[in-house]
Amino acid sequence: MIEATADGATFESLGLGLVRHNIPVLPPTIDNSLSIAGADGETDFGSTYGPRTFDLECVLMADNPTLDYQRRVALMAALFDAKKGDIIFTFSDLPDKRYVGRYAGNLPIEKIIFDGNVTIPIKMHNPWPESVHTTEIRRYGEGLSYGEGYQYQGSSYFTVTSSGQVLVVENKGTKTAEPLIRITGAFTNLSLTAKGQTFTFSGSTGASDILEIDCNPQKCRVRLNGESVFGRSNGVFFELSPGETEFVAQAQLSNIIIEFIYRYKYLY
């Protein structure tokens, strides 16, 4: 059996044994093409990926074929209720990754005396699995055990002491990521440049101020101490391709901290 969790609960705690998860290598494509009268074939305008779907083939195990069996069925129904929206799945044979999706389809169960066979269909609307942890630095006691802290410090956390300092951010995933860039400390007229793009922020901040640039395309926010200051920026946001991205930080400053906070994304 594969050890698995859903929404923080282990399958074992519900009496579920995961036999296989049937996750496809890639999600299906959505092809954009056009047939032109009088021309052979069709014109290809590229493709995008659709949602990724997979099945969880499980055995539901109970202590007796009546009350305990029905109790476990009810627990399973509550856990996978589609009205909850997306939940997080992890699998022991796919370590350090999480899959975010929800039940979508039909959920019949075949009862065999004490046990039942059930296949749970899952749809990931965002088809890319992510790293379990973000690149944010956390200390022991903040949900981490000994040996788990600081694992990403070398590639996401920078102390900047001079204008023009180069920062090399390493995206260890296999898909592009959109980071939250957090800048702590006092500076005046900041700019960040990477791959021909430059983000600018005008004015000054104080030693305890926190500027956050959220590059998530669904958000695209610039906030200072939690308040929107988008108008003080030029509205440029960054993507991190797999591998290394070199940033140049320029400002009037003495000592600031720049963090790039995101989850690695993977094709599989």
Give residue-wise pLDDT tens across range 26-85.
999 999 988 888 888 888 888 999 999 999 999 999 989 889 999 999 999 999 999 999
Does the pLDDT at position 217 exceed 70?
yes
pLDDT of residue 140: 47
Q: pLDDT for 244-267, tens place per residue?
A: 999 999 999 989 999 999 999 999
**pLDDT band, very low/low/confident/very high, at 188 (cuts 50, 70, 90):** very high
pLDDT of residue 150: 47
User: Mean pLDDT throughout 133-148?
Assistant: 63
Q: How far is CA 103 from the centre of its chain?
A: 19
User: Mean pLDDT throughout 166-171?
Assistant: 96
pLDDT of residue 202: 97
Domains of the chain, residue spans: 4-127, 153-261
Cα Dmax for the chain:
73
Does the pLDDT at position 137 exceed 90?
no
* Distance, CA of 126 to CA of 258 (rounded, Å): 28
Averaged pLDDT score across all residues of the chain: 92
* Distance, CA of 173 to CA of 194 (rounded, Å): 19
**pLDDT band, very low/low/confident/very high, at 200 (cuts 50, 70, 90):** very high
Name every residue whose Cβ is closer than 8 Å to that of residue 113 and which is 6 or more positions away in sequence.
Answer: 65
Q: What percentage of residues in the chain have a pLDDT greater than 70?
A: 93
pLDDT of residue 143: 52
For residue 204, give the nearest of 226, 194, 222, 189 by alpha carbon.
189
Q: What is the DSSP letter of 231?
A: G
Higher per-residue pLDDT: 124 or 153: 124
pLDDT of residue 114: 78
Answer yes or no: are the C-beta atoms of 212 and 221 closer than 8 Å: yes
Phi and psi at residue 5, to the nearest 5°: -130, 150
Does the pLDDT at position 18 exceed 60?
yes
Answer yes or no: are the C-beta atoms of 211 and 199 closer than 8 Å: no
Q: What is the DSSP letter of 70?
A: H
Topology at the third CATH level for domain 153-261: Jelly Rolls (2.60.120)
Answer yes or no: are the C-beta atoms of 21 and 56 closer than 8 Å: yes
Could you tell me which CATH class the domain 4-127 is placed in? mainly beta
Does the pLDDT at position 138 exceed 70?
no
* Distance, CA of 227 to CA of 212 (rounded, Å): 10
* Distance, CA of 219 to CA of 128 (rounded, Å): 19
End-to-end CA distance of the chain: 21
Q: What percentage of residues in the chain have a pLDDT greater than 90?
A: 81
pLDDT of residue 115: 85
Q: Global pTM?
A: 0.86
User: Mean pLDDT throughout 182-196?
Assistant: 97
Burial class (CB in 10 A: 0-12, 13-18, 19+), 8: exposed
Q: How far is CA 58 from the centre of its chain?
A: 26
